[in-house]
Chains A and B, each alone.
Chain A
Amino acid sequence: MKEALMDEALVLIIDDVPEIVDELVTMLSLLDIPALGAGSLSAAVTALENAPALRAIACDVRLAQESGLEILQRIADHPELSARSYHFLFMTGDPMRPDAIHAQQKYHLLSKPVQPRQLIEILQELLAVPDTTHA
């Protein structure tokens, strides 16, 4: 079942708070949106490598000891992942941080506590965008 989920997952949730990851993944599952969770950037890269169907990434800006925005560079530097197209959505509990303000200019940025329905709407919009690389 886990391998099946890896193959089917469309959304990757990245947050250093396990409870948030669990609840978001559960919520997406209840809405029939297969999702995976990761607590760090390294775990996220591993998940991306193993889940080729992933198309959207919802990432917390302020992770335990790193910035969630670094996921952009990680993917850009990755030989395989850089060839794929991902949609990004960032979440933050500290919207006044400079990097959060910077991210808001290019990507969707939700402030915590996120409104679940707003999050779902954005993810659905992102997933509705035709995927050229995965075709």
Chain B
Amino acid sequence: MLEGIQRFLTGSHAAFPGRRTALSLATILIATLCLTPIFGQTPTLTLAFFFAGLLKRRWAVLIFAAFAIVHAQWAGWFQAVTAACVFLVAHGLRKWVRQPSDATILASCLTFPIVIVAGWAPLGEALRWAAAFVLGTALADLAVAAAARGNRAFPRDATLAMRPVAALTAIINTLTVIILDLLARPLPRPVDETLAFTFIDERLTLPALLILTLVLQFYSRQLSHLLEGKPDDEPTSSRPHVAGSAVPQVAGAATYNGDRTGVFAQAPGVPTLRSISRLSFDAQAGRLDFSEGTAATSANSLQIHIDDVSRVIESVDRGDTILRFQANIGADLEPMLLAMTGRTGKWHWESGILLHHNHQWRHSIALARRARHAELGARVLTIAHELRQPLCTIAVAAENQRLILANAAPGKSAGQLAERIERITEQVNRATTIIEQILNYGRTSASTAAEVDVAETLRRCCGFLAPIFEEHAIELDFSIENGWHGTIMPPVELEQVFVNALQNAADSIVSRRHAGWTEAGRITCSVATCDGLISCIIADNGAGLSECHAGSAFDAFFSTKAEEGTGLGLFISREIILRAGGKVSLRPSSEGALLAIQLPATTNIAQMSARASRIVN
């Protein structure tokens, strides 16, 4: 029944107090019970409340003044000041707790020390204190909600969620106090200095005591949940959400179990908008646990991408109710939008809606592929020129073979013919290589993550663009640290990043030349590995860019090229690098511009395999 009452009050298990709440309650109760027998005065209780928490709210001063004036007319200045102090401390504790449901519990539980105050003051007056305090609590909730509308106090959603719960609790507490007042009215009300327990034992009627006991039991059960290790402030790294259905975890891999072992988007008929419940964030593992459907059978978890973990955890800690993150689903990386409601603990929420952004993600990948095609289209003349060279050699070599056969005596032309044949074979291979490079760069099939040498890939891309560098008389300087500079990512994506960066550098140099600059163009490429990070820098002495442009360069459709470019090159490059767990930045340099890329280095097989499972395949 009590649990039913609890659900009625809070609509869920949302009333479990957190650690701060429990600490506040314990402080208040212990201070009340321990200090009062010693000093036996009301100010002692007030003083204990003051020490129980800190109060720093601007508008609390106004409430203090209003509350004190009302109370002064009602019960006298001394009691007014005392009650106002109690209220202010209670409010300070509620602010300190920060969690709406816990704050409500705290506010409710504070009524009991007020009732205990009746041990030193006439009962009717003590009850009026309690009633006034409860009303003050409700008013405070409304004030907090009003303040939150402008996001000045609490997150809007959290505060709005708190309001109906607080109102219900206030009503229940008020009724409790009224009943107690009615039951105690026939009793004599001398000013009695006896202790609270004695007063309750001797003066309260049995029904009132029963009601008080029931209400106290209700809150004590909540405290017992806390002591049993129910959802609290601490992240739950090992606690299974549903008994008997522990979530299987694989380091760095998708952990989407149950009957939904597949990928959201790739499983036919799977909705992209899903209602989930019993949300729990594991901050250490970067994982979201939740239930779906019938709670006993569908415990699930999502592995948040490593790039988003810290941001998501900060948002959850802050109380944000809408989160965006990428999740590792199988071999894919899928963007998610999560809206949550009913906070039950620092890392726990009652329910939420999970929106799967797979379509947007696929559009992004498609965009990257189309950008590659656009770049290839822009380079078609250069590619054609490259292919014509071996074809020309082959054509002339073939004609030479014919001439040799026609002119030379039988048996004397074998050496010349063999030389021609060898040359034709070489040129055919060269043409084939060019075509393969083009196809590799422009292929639309899914790219596969693999260990790739960043330095070698950079060299290969420079070779791919060599005709452009030659055409524009651009020198290439390499400064590559000896050793292996391996990372895990789709090679074709890394090539796309480098080709885009090198092409931008070349375009910048050409642009500077168009403005009258006549110096030698130079692109400097450096690769080094340090502390588990591969640092790759591509610098040029071209036209450069302003700080303003550097800040916007990674925005979609941003371009400094008036008539060329899609404005997507750097945008896509950043997505690729972020997906691989790296960082990319662009800034002006002393001569032109400098693009800095950082990628995680693979130093051992375990790391490689763990990371390979997280990256898009």
Q: Choose one: B395, B400, B407; the contact of A115 (CB below 8 Å).
A: B395
B473, A23: Cβ atoms under 8 Å?
Answer: no
Q: What are the residues of chain B within 8 A of A2 when measuring CB–CB? A: none
A113, B473: Cβ atoms under 8 Å?
Answer: no
Say yes or no: is B9 at the interface (Cβ < 8 Å to chain A): no
Say which one of A25-33, A73-81, A82-90 lies at the interface with B. Answer: A25-33
| A23-B393, A62-B471, A93-B386 given; 4 more Cβ-contact pairs under 8 Å | A17-B389, A65-B471, A93-B388, A117-B399
Number of interface residues of A (CB under 8 A): 26
Q: Choose one: A30, A91, A94, A113; the contact of B400 (CB below 8 Å).
A: A30
Question: Given A19-B427, A93-B389, A113-B391, are A24 and B396 neighbors across the interface (CB < 8 Å)?
Answer: yes
A99 to B404, CA, bound (A): 36
Q: What are the residues of chain A within 8 A of B390 when measuring CB–CB? A: 19
Nearest Cβ distance between residue B407 and chain A, in whole angstroms? 6
A113 to B430, CA, bound (A): 14
Q: What are the residues of chain A within 8 A of B392 when measuring CB–CB? A: 17, 20, 91, 93, 112-114
Q: What are the residues of chain B within 8 A of A116 when measuring CB–CB? A: 395-396, 398-400
- Contact string against B for A residues 55-69, beta-carbon threshold 8 Å, 1 for contact and 0 otherwise: 000000010111000
B393, A17: Cβ atoms under 8 Å?
Answer: yes
A19, B393: Cβ atoms under 8 Å?
Answer: yes
Q: What are the residues of chain A within 8 A of B388 when measuring CB–CB? A: 93-94, 111-113
Say yes or no: is A128 at the interface (Cβ < 8 Å to chain B): no
Question: Given A93-B385, A93-B389, A94-B381, are A23 and B396 neighbors across the interface (CB < 8 Å)?
Answer: yes
Q: Inter-chain contact count A-B, CB under 8 Å?
A: 74
Nearest A-chain residue to B466, judged by Cβ: A64
* A residues lining the B interface (CB < 8 Å): 16-17, 19-20, 23-24, 26-27, 30-31, 62, 64-66, 91, 93-94, 96-97, 111-117
Nearest B-chain residue to A94, judged by Cβ: B385
Say yes or no: is B403 at the interface (Cβ < 8 Å to chain A): yes
Q: Choose one: A27, A64, A94, A97; the contact of B399 (CB below 8 Å).
A: A27
B423, A96: Cβ atoms under 8 Å?
Answer: no
* Size bin of chain B's contact surface: 20 to 34
Q: What are the residues of chain A within 8 A of B400 when measuring CB–CB? A: 23, 26-27, 30, 116
B381, A30: Cβ atoms under 8 Å?
Answer: no
A93, B384: Cβ atoms under 8 Å?
Answer: yes
A113 to B386, CA, bound (A): 11
Q: What are the residues of chain A within 8 A of B382 when measuring CB–CB? A: 94
Prevailing SS type, chain B contact patch = helix
Nearest B-chain residue to A64, judged by Cβ: B470
Q: What are the residues of chain B within 8 A of A115 when measuring CB–CB? A: 395
Q: What are the residues of chain A within 8 A of B381 when measuring CB–CB? A: 94, 96-97
Q: What are the residues of chain B within 8 A of A94 when measuring CB–CB? A: 381-382, 384-385, 388
A115 to B385, CA, bound (A): 16
A30 to B397, CA, bound (A): 12
A62, B385: Cβ atoms under 8 Å?
Answer: yes
Say yes or no: is B276 at the interface (Cβ < 8 Å to chain A): no
Say yes or no: is B394 at the interface (Cβ < 8 Å to chain A): yes
Nearest A-chain residue to B404, judged by Cβ: A30
Q: What are the residues of chain A within 8 A of B394 when measuring CB–CB? A: 113
Nearest A-chain residue to B403, judged by Cβ: A30
Nearest Cβ distance between residue B473 and chain A, in whole angstroms? 4
Q: What are the residues of chain B within 8 A of A91 when measuring CB–CB? A: 392
Interface residues of B in 340-399 (CB under 8 A from A): 381-382, 384-399
Q: What are the residues of chain B within 8 A of A65 when measuring CB–CB? A: 470-471, 473
Interface centre among B393, B397, B398, B404 (most CB of A within 10 A): B393
Q: What are the residues of chain B within 8 A of A114 when measuring CB–CB? A: 392, 395-396
Nearest Cβ distance between residue A27 and chain B, in whole angstroms? 5
Nearest Cβ distance between residue B434 and chain A, in whole angstroms? 12
Query: 19 pairs across A/B with beta carbons < 8 Å?
Result: A16-B470, A17-B389, A17-B393, A19-B393, A19-B426, A19-B427, A20-B392, A26-B400, A27-B400, A30-B400, A30-B407, A31-B403, A62-B385, A93-B389, A93-B392, A97-B381, A112-B389, A112-B391, A114-B392
